[in-house]
Structure 1
Amino acid sequence: MDNNQLHPDSLLVSSGRPHGHGAPLNHPPIFASNFVIGNGEELEYARDGSNQSWSGFETLVSDLEGGGMSTSFSSGMAAISSVFQNVPNNGNVALPTDCYGGVVALVNEGKENQQWNVKRIEAGDTKTWIEVIEKGYDLVWLEGVTNPMVEVSDIETICKTSRPANTLVCVDCTFSTPLNLQPLKKGADVSVHSATKFFGGHSDLLLGVVTTKNEELHKKVQRHRQIHGALPGAMETFLAIRGSRTLALRLERAQQNALILAERLNNHPAVMVTRYPGLPSHPQQVR
């Protein structure tokens, strides 16, 4: 059966595995920097390409995203940086007012170095997001669910907006995971994850991943990984694949527990404000 026909829960169990008779069921971690030179098509030096430790995880993420090409990195911020390197000097960047602190630090550094111009937009201000896309901002950075204040943007409406060729729309889906949001299917150019979080699931790895359907952008991202040395570790990608096998079960329980906790806190006299997208009181309620 084609992977596109499989439910995401099934993909989590079946995708990213070796093929062929006699192959191991799981990709083993390959601890190697150099490889035997062959006919020129095989990997010769780890930094110059991928190996099975990484490619298994990248295949899994691509399948979960509904297609595209994935590139794994040594951390979520390494993955994010590979996207920002596409912004030209004096380029324009838009990102949410509530946004992951690492991204804010990266953007502020670029602004201080007069590398780019920055506009901050409320996550729920769909009208302004559409305006900056139509104006041709070089990078429009969204978060599926913002970190840390769990605000929600209308990703589908924003991402389907017609835009100039220079504009990249990227969605950080770390909090959403591909089980809740597949931005490439909504019209985004790039999807980013800190696999350190839900994919790994056990607080024992650092890993990031970028997925796009744009082949030229994919090559740029891979080139950035190569020349900046932001390679994932063999053990980290092995652990990420293993952690991903239980993602559906873990995420379902986490969401159930979060809603129960949010409802209790929302009714607690000592709590002034409870922020959770599943509550009716949330400004962008999601059910």
Structure 2
Amino acid sequence: MGKKALKFNSKTIHGGQFPDKAYGAVMPPIYQTSTYAQTTPGGHKGFGYSRSANPTRTALENALASIENGNYGLAFGSGLAAIDAVLKLLKPGDEVVSTNDLYGGSYRLFKRIFEQYGIVFHFVGMQNAAAIEERINKNTKLIWVETPSNPMMNIIDIKAVSQLARKHGIWFAVDNTFATPYLQLPLDLGADIVMHSATKYLGGHSDVVLGALVVKDKELADQLYFIQNASGAVCGPMDSFLVLRGIKTLHVRMQRHCENGRAIAEYLSKHPKIEKVYWPGFADHPNHEVAKNQMKDFGGMISFVPKGADYNTAIKIVEKLEVFTLAESLGGVESLAGHPASMTHASIPKEEREKSGVVDSLIRLSVGIEDVDDLIEDLKQAIQQ
């Protein structure tokens, strides 16, 4: 059986990986070097300068391509650096149709950086693909999707959007950070580009910042590689090593994230002091059937709104948590709680936030892999207080 034929749980460990040629090391060494000896100008062993390529980073990029069923992986200094590279495919006058409740950092990059260079962004609710087509015109070059979205857990039909993108001849990119390739494979559903903040679930241990892109098409990969090399937003070898190590346990971690997430979502949904819980696994969650079809399970990300709560009530709840840590980010082995309005989505104007449901009382949980009884007890005491 070739490595390309491996099932997902095996690919996280072996996909795109080979023992080191020098000494047979099972894990790729950390090649902490900026440059490489050449026998003659341009005569080297595939690596000339570490901005362009580094053996540890290449090992990670091969793993990324393997687990996403892509052909080419690119690793960046952060998730936003990866998004930045995608937007540099565009030119002034081009238009982008994007999810209306996307991550605040993505919104900030779109509006505060690229909009001033003449790129036009449209933010729409994408639960119905028809809403996307209404915004497409001759200048539209990219559809940008998060599914599940951050923090409202909205589900977007990747296959339906890919058919729309193909019909109009435009690129289609999916931020797969929340789901990970363990739960869904956007390239197999027709996306052109998959993006990850590998800081999150792929790294999995809250000890690294890194971004990734994966594509199937060589011409698109070459364009993105040129942008990456020319702009220099690459990750270092130590960070590459840490994410590669994280990927090797992705499948076992995600299984527990999903199990714990389900238990906590169900607990919160029955709590008398909770008004609304956002989790794709509920039968009444918008596009739940789409989630069932394109995802293997429903993940460990949950948002909720306490009854009669305002900004201050939400702040008090997250401050009272003891096992959950109040912190930015998500996807680590430890459970985190956040207040989107003042943290991850603070860069989005209040009026725009609230249109998509990101109200001041919304709390977002990244459910970790601790004992679920401890997590539930922690939520119980914080909500009661």
Hey, what's the Cα distance between the residues in 2 that align with 1:28 and 1:20?
8
* 1:230-272 deviations in Å (ceiling 9; x for gaps): 1111111101111111100111110111111011101111011
Q: Residue 273 of structure 1 aligns to a residue in which SS?
A: strand
Runs of 4+ more than 3 Å apart: 19-22, 130-136
Hey, what's the Cα distance between the residues in 2 that align with 1:232 and 1:80?
14
Cα-Cα RMSD: 1.8
After the TM superposition, which residues 146-157 of structure 1 pair with which residues of structure 2 at under 5 Å, given as runs? Answer: 146-157=149-160
Deviation at 1:111, TM superposition (A): 5.9
In 2, are the aligned partners of 1:98 and 1:147 still within 8 Å (CA)?
yes
Q: Residue 106 of structure 2 aligns to a residue in which SS?
A: helix
In 2, are the aligned partners of 1:3 and 1:63 still within 8 Å (CA)?
no
Amino acid corresponding to residue 34 of structure 2 in structure 1? S
In 1, are the aligned partners of 2:142 and 2:171 still within 8 Å (CA)?
yes
Hey, what's the Cα distance between the residues in 2 that align with 1:7 and 1:111?
39
Equivalent residue number for residue 84 of structure 2: 81
After the TM superposition, which residues 203-282 of structure 1 pair with which residues of structure 2 at under 5 Å, given as runs? Answer: 203-282=206-285
Structure number with larger C-alpha Rg: 2
TM-score (norm 1): 0.93
The count of aligned residue pairs is: 285
Equivalent residue number for residue 186 of structure 2: 183
Distance verdict in 2 for CA 1:134–1:90, change over 3 Å:
closer
The gaps in structure 2 that reach 5 residues or longer are 293-385
After the TM superposition, which residues 47-196 of structure 1 pair with which residues of structure 2 at under 5 Å, given as runs? Answer: 47=51, 49-110=52-113, 112-113=115-116, 115-132=118-135, 137-161=140-164, 162-165=166-169, 167-196=170-199
After the TM superposition, which residues 29-48 of structure 1 pair with which residues of structure 2 at under 5 Å, given as runs? Answer: 29-38=30-39, 39-40=43-44, 42-47=46-51
Q: Residue 185 of structure 1 aligns to a residue in which SS?
A: coil
Amino acid corresponding to residue 2 of structure 2 in structure 1? D
TM-score (norm 2): 0.70
Equivalent residue number for residue 8 of structure 1: 8
The gaps in structure 1 that reach 5 residues or longer are none
Hey, what's the Cα distance between the residues in 1 that align with 2:10 and 2:175?
23
Hey, what's the Cα distance between the residues in 1 that align with 2:35 and 2:114?
39
Hey, what's the Cα distance between the residues in 2 that align with 1:156 and 1:64?
19
RCO greater where, 1 or 2, for CA within 8 Å and sep 6 or more? 1
Sequence identity percentage: 30
Amino acid corresponding to residue 219 of structure 1 in structure 2? D
Hey, what's the Cα distance between the residues in 2 that align with 1:102 and 1:248?
27
